[in-house]
Amino acid sequence: ASLRRGMKSCRHRQVYLQLVVNNYKPSLQPVHLQKFAMELTTGRHVRLFAEDVLVLIDPVLCELIVDNLISNAFVHGHPNDPDVEFRAMLRPMLTAEENRRHNNNAPGERLFSGTSDPIVLDGNDPRSSLQRMRLTLLVSNAKNPARREVTEDYVKDVVSGKAVKGPSTSAMSDHIGLQHSFMAADTLGMTLSLNQRAQRVTAKLEGDVVITTQPVTAVHRSAEVDLQAWPKDLKIHCIDDSAPARRLLFHNLTSWAATSNVRTYGQNEGEAVRFIEDTVNDADIAILDQHLEYGGEANILGTDLVAELVARRFEGLICMRSANVADEDVRAYKTAGAHCVFGKDILMKDMVRQMKQDYLQRSFMTTPASVHLADSLSSEALQYVASSSLDTADNIAVLEC
C-alpha cells in the first residue's frame, strides 16, 4: 500500500505542475466510489464509510485532494490517536421531477456545471439514465490539543501561504499540500473547506456529480471479450530498471496471467538490447517502463524501445507501465506504438485483467502473435469475441509498417 501511494505521489507531482500553470484539463471518468475510497485508505488506520455507487468524477484530482487530506489528518491530528475517519456520501441535488427530466434529456444536453468540459450525451449513449447528485467527501480527525484552533482566518492564511509555523507544527508540514488541494478543488468546480467543531477537525470536499447504474465498462469501454478465452502460458517479457518493480511484475504475472513464461530485463543497459532481440523472436506481450536510468548517458527511453519493436515488426501486445501517465505522456507512448498504458499506481490484478482484455481484442483485429491462441478458444468464445471486436476498432491502435 505504501509503495502504491509513493507511485501515486509521482503522478501527483506532474498534476501539481499543471495546476500551478493553469494547464490541467479535468477528465470525468466512471469511478466506483466505494473502491476509490478503499484504495485511498488501504494500509492506513482509517474508519471508512462509502456508498456503493458509480460516479463520474476526475479520479486524479479527487484522489490528490483526498490523499492530501488524509495525510494531513495523521500529521496534524492528535499525536496519540488521530482517530481519522473518511466518509464518501451522496445526496439528491434535484427533485424527482427534475431528475426525470434529466433522465429523458435530449441529445446534446449538458449535465455538468463545473469548470471541466461538460458531458454531452447522444441519444444512444448508455449514460442516458444518469442522475445528478451532490457528492460530499469528508475527512475528519481528533484535534491535536497543542495546535491552534482551526478558524476561517487561519485557513485563509494557509491557502495564501501566509500561515506562520507554531512550535507544535509538524516539521514535515509546509502547507503546500493543502494549497494544492484548494487549487485542485477550484479546478474541478468543487468547494473545499476546513473547520473545527469542539475537538474535531473536518475537511469537506463537495460538488455536483452525476451517477449511473450502468457498469463502468458500459460508459467508456466497448463490450468486453470473454476472459475465459485467455490462453495459458503466454510469453511475457518485461523491462524495468527497478529490481523491486521487476520482482513485482514477475510475481503478479505468474500469479494472475496463468503463465510461467515471464522474463524480466533491465538490470543494466546491455539488457535492453537483449530484451529487443528476445521479444521480437519469442514473446507474445511486452511490458516496458518509460525511464530506464543507469547513470550518466546510459539512460534509455521506453518509447525508443517501443519504436524499435514496431520497426522490427513485433506482432504482440505492447504495454507501457510507467509512473508518468499524464495526457501528454500517454499520447507519446501511443505515438511510439504502444497499444495500452498502465500507471504504476494501479493494482497489479487490475492491470493484468486489462492486459488480458487488450490482448484478446487485439488478437482479433490483427495477426495473432501466438499460434496457440486460437487453439485455446471454444467456438462460442471465438464467435463472441469476433463480433464484439467489430465495435472496438476505433479504440484499438493498429500499427502497420
H or E segment to which residue 349 belongs: helix 348-363
Is the distance from CB of 241 to CB of 287 less than 8 angstroms? no
pLDDT of the residue at 165: 52
Does the model's pTM come out above 0.85?
Answer: no
279-333 pLDDT, tens digit each: 999 999 999 999 999 877 778 999 999 999 999 999 899 999 998 888 888 889 9
Amino acid 133: pLDDT: 85
pLDDT digits (tens, 9 = 90+) for 49-74: 998 888 888 888 898 899 999 999 99
| DSSP E strand boundaries for 37-129 | 46-50, 54-57, 84-92
What is the pLDDT at residue 321? 94
Extended strands (E) in 294-391: 299-301, 317-322, 340-343
Distance of CA 176 to CAs 68, 181, 182, 197, Å?
Answer: 10, 9, 10, 24
Q: Please list the ranges in the chain whose pLDDT falls under 50.
A: 102, 105-129, 167-174, 214-224, 366-401
Q: Which long-range contacts (CB under 8 A, 24 or more apart) does 192-195 make?
A: 192/65, 193/155, 194/150, 194/155, 195/150, 195/152, 195/155
The predicted structure's pLDDT at residue 324: 86
pLDDT of residue 210: 84
pLDDT at 28: 81
User: What pLDDT sits at residue 285?
Assistant: 96
At 163 the pLDDT is 55
